[in-house]
Amino acid sequence: MNSKFILAVLLIFFASCSQAASSTKLKDPTRPPVFASVKPGKKIIRNLKLSEIKITTKQRQAVINGKRLRKGNSIGGYRLQRIEVGYVILSNSKGTLRLNLINSRIIRKKL
């Protein structure tokens, strides 16, 4: 009698555990990413290319996709946050992006 009661309790316990496990949503690692919709008039450019960085004592500029930018300027749905030697940091509501200046030659001039 006592073993039947224990067996019944265990069956109910395992049944509730399996139901709870099946109700939790697992993330599929093979599922392609979901892209957010873009508001009209705003473009998100996926292929941003940093081609030049200019740092002087007075200002910092970067050329991304042929457009000369300063800190705070926007391009392709991103805002330019930082300009450093060899890279820039862009951000939007989804996160941050670092663009590196690849195959670059750093020329330092005394001003």
What is the C-alpha separation between 41 and 17, in angstroms, rounded? 50
Question: H or E stretch including 5?
Answer: helix 2-23
Confidence of residue 36 (pLDDT cuts 50, 70, 90): very low
pLDDT single digits (tens) 16-27:
765 555 556 677
Residue 96: CB atoms within 10 A of its CB come to 11
Beta bridge partners of 89: 82, 98
pLDDT single digits (tens) 49-107:
899 999 999 999 999 999 999 999 999 889 999 999 889 999 998 889 899 887 555 55
pLDDT single digits (tens) 66-75:
999 999 999 9
- Sign of CA pseudo-dihedral 29, 31, 32, 37: negative
Residue extents of the structural domains in the chain:
50-100
pLDDT at 81: 96
